[in-house]
Structure 1
């Protein structure tokens, strides 16, 4: 099923992810919902520079190896869609495909589902997510979703010409929540303008500036390709930035080793450490009982502990 027609887009087709047809609908000088988040620097997986080189064809496109979380997310998508349908018998939930905006053919989107009221009425989108932790997710019923996903949803609404999207998420395999995002014209115009500027920069051969994103470094590692046995005379400020970064890294590593030793010392023989009821770290051990590694709790990187 492809679902009902929408106001501002045409259906390109229903393609299985990873197939040649799916790749073709997303390749070239077009922008998808996930790429819109990349362009404005909101993707944890790709950077503007890495996407630019993909679009420009100056290096092989990023090969994203599906993680276990991604594979389970794909498997659970129809299950979560069924739960949403059960929770809302007043609507019909339709599978759909890849759409292109009628006015801007380069603006593409592949929403997870389209929702229609059973007795008629405005269409809405349904975006389906899974999350290991609840970080970035607000109270159910609000519009407080991680900013990367909000960006994707706003782009999808703008592409199809719809006003409302529901986000259904399963957190930690048991916490089902729903959120509602209403189209924001200012956000839509911002994303649209930035995307158009990005495509123009590809046409002009002007890449975005460097940044500290891991994907940017991976991209630069593969450019320009090949090595000449010569000496490059680089600018002193570039060299100094590199030198200072190495100094800062050494100091940070020393600080981390000291802090890790302090935590292990305070733990004694305990397997796990907490501070005021909040999880801090877990130790792994060798066969003789000595510590192999101290593993910080994932939330420790995003939640500051009170003194």
Structure 2
């Protein structure tokens, strides 16, 4: 990022409203994110692209109904622990700029549109007696175990749910560029850049409007196959009544067929894995041309597991 690009009027200073620098998990932080608001981490769920939430689970949250408690997974914990380290790496790579905590913001006109970016990027003052200029771009810090959904360094290829997140952040603050600093697999550091797209932002705003209308009108989204949906349904009942509940025949058949299908799929997967291991022998990877299919791990000289490659086009 050059000084010229930051100074360019195409990248204006924030025109959103700063709510404050709120401590995650505090009452004020929760209040800024609940109710009839949509945050940057929620917008991907609104459009059905979030790996962690579904429209169904988010609808229940916004409706004030029971939702599963937040779970501090190892991935979340280490992502939080490493955020400052990755941000420091970006800082080291960009002398002359300062990436400072951004705080929680709302859109100047749409009070329900909220965002808490990781960092605001400032040009550093020439001397300690000068205040930094207005922040004009954003920095988003991520960690990931795999790099399949991330493009090479310097590109704009980021996971789609993160693209939704930063478009919402830029739209909320009135900014036009976000830099990503991502640490993949604990050692592969990459930087990517996403520029604001008005047409995409409008799609997200319209979807959020419709979603909030559904919350106000009590229009529950249909049950889908997301784990977040199932976990949300699990926490709705309170207690246990020893009664029989009549259910539609088609729903019973769907459940029973799915159970049979799961057993058949497990059997077929076991057979398919056996065939691949038989092909691999003492090798490590199964490939078709330049495409990697699966890899073998070994403990004490014996096969421990056979694991699929998640990218369809991983080069051998």
For normalisation by structure 2, the TM-score amounts to 0.84
Structure 2 residue aligned with 1:127, among 107, 119, 140?
A: 140
6 and 31 in structure 1: CA distance in 2 versus 1, 3 angstrom threshold: farther
**Which residue does the alignment assign to 2:160?**
147
| Post-superposition offset of 1:303 | 2.6
Q: Paired residues, what number?
A: 294
Structure 2 residue aligned with 1:280, among 291, 294, 302?
A: 294
- Give SS of 1:16's match: coil
C-alpha separation between the residues in 2 aligned to 1:305 and 1:113? 32
Which deviations, in whole Å up to 9, do the C-alpha atoms of 1:282-303 show, x marking residues without a partner? Answer: 4566x9x877x63414xx2443
Structure 1 residue aligned with 2:81, among 59, 69, 75?
A: 75
- Give SS of 1:21's match: helix
| Post-superposition offset of 1:247 | 2.5
| Post-superposition offset of 1:69 | 2.3
- Give SS of 2:84's match: helix
| Post-superposition offset of 1:106 | 1.0
Query: Is the CA contact (8 Å cut-off) linking 2:280 and 2:286 kept in structure 1?
Result: no
| Post-superposition offset of 1:248 | 1.7
Query: Is the CA contact (8 Å cut-off) linking 2:106 and 2:112 kept in structure 1?
Result: yes
C-alpha separation between the residues in 2 aligned to 1:234 and 1:139? 51
Structure 1 residue aligned with 2:249, among 236, 243, 254?
A: 236
Give the CA RMSD over aligned residues. Answer: 2.6
| Post-superposition offset of 1:37 | 0.9
Structure 1 residue aligned with 2:103, among 90, 97, 108?
A: 97
Query: Is the CA contact (8 Å cut-off) linking 1:284 and 1:295 kept in structure 2?
Result: no
Kindly indicate whether residue 97 of structure 2 is the aligned counterpart of residue 86 of structure 1.
no
305 and 172 in structure 1: CA distance in 2 versus 1, 3 angstrom threshold: closer
For normalisation by structure 1, the TM-score amounts to 0.86
Structure 1 residue aligned with 2:210, among 177, 194, 197?
A: 197
**Which residue does the alignment assign to 1:10?**
17
- Give SS of 1:144's match: coil
- Give SS of 2:42's match: helix
C-alpha separation between the residues in 2 aligned to 1:304 and 1:79? 31
**Which residue does the alignment assign to 2:8?**
none
Which deviations, in whole Å up to 9, do the C-alpha atoms of 1:171-208 show, x marking residues without a partner? Answer: 12222111111111111111111112111211111111
C-alpha separation between the residues in 2 aligned to 1:158 and 1:245? 42
* Structure 1 runs of 4+ with >6 Å offset: none
Which deviations, in whole Å up to 9, do the C-alpha atoms of 1:185-233 show, x marking residues without a partner? Answer: 1111111111121112111111111110011111112223334333333
- Give SS of 1:34's match: coil
C-alpha separation between the residues in 1 aligned to 2:148 and 2:314? 16
**Which residue does the alignment assign to 1:107?**
113
C-alpha separation between the residues in 2 aligned to 1:224 and 1:200? 25
Gaps of 5+ in 1: none
